[in-house]
Amino acid sequence: MTIRAARLPDDEPAILSFGWGLQRFENGFEPNRRLDPGFAAEHWADVQAQAQRRGALFVAENDDRPVGWAFVVEEAGDLFVKESERRYGFVAELFVEETARGQGHGRALIAACEDWTRARGMAVLIIGVLTANGKAAAVYRRDGFAPYNLFMRKYL
């Protein structure tokens, strides 16, 4: 297993497939996920713009073949958060192909995001997880993450 910085444009096809894979996976329990043909191009343009300004893309490989990725960005918290924790890393996306899950790729991608965050002088890394994705939440808890904020939604 190898974790490395994304090499663009070479990794673009794999990253686009990971984006679709995540959308399809999450759509299984969160039907608000876009599956329209325009999604991939719009999403990829947004990711690239964010990464250029304030983020990084990492790729997990097995035998020189991409099997997953993570996208981490620097975020700024609200003024009510103490200054030492106001800037933080946020794992905006994390995906590992089903055939490569359970082999440590996700953990290694998170470690790369942790290293990137620490290297920029930030002491906090946040990762989001959909409430219905209990398996991912359990993995993140085992990796040292703890619930921090809960958003509640009501359809009108």
Q: What is the pLDDT, as a whole number, of residue 136?
A: 94
Position 147 in a domain: no
Q: What is the pLDDT, as a whole number, of residue 62?
A: 95
Q: What is the pLDDT, as a whole number, of residue 5?
A: 98
CATH code of the domain covering residue 45: 3.40.630.30
Position 110 in a domain: yes
Q: What is the pLDDT, as a whole number, of residue 13?
A: 96
Position 105 in a domain: yes
Position 76 in a domain: yes
Report pLDDT digits (tens) over 7-29: 999 999 999 999 999 999 999 99
Position 155 in a domain: no
Q: What is the pLDDT, as a whole number, of residue 107?
A: 96
Position 154 in a domain: no
Q: For residue 12, give the DSSP letter.
A: H
d(CA 56, CA 54): 7
d(CA 97, CA 119): 28
pTM above 0.75? yes
Domain of 56 in residue numbering reads as 2-142
Residue with tokens 């899950």: 101
Dig out the tokens for 60 from the structure: 């997990």
Instruction: Give Dmax over CA atoms of the chain in angstroms.
Output: 49
Q: What is the pLDDT, as a whole number, of residue 50?
A: 94
Q: For the stretch 111-124, what's the b/e string if a residue is b when 16 or more beta carbons lie within 10 angstroms of its beta carbon?
A: ebbbbbbeeeebeb
pLDDT below 70 — which residues of the chain? none
Position 37 in a domain: yes
Given a contact cutoff of 8 angstroms between Cβ atoms, the answer to whether 56 and 5 are in contact is yes
Position 152 in a domain: no
Count of structural domains within the chain: 1
Q: What is the pLDDT, as a whole number, of residue 82?
A: 95
Dig out the tokens for 48 from the structure: 């690239």
Q: What is the pLDDT, as a whole number, of residue 130?
A: 95
Query: Taking the CA of residue 30 as centre, how many other CA atoms within 13 Å lie in the half-sphere pointing to its CB?
Result: 15
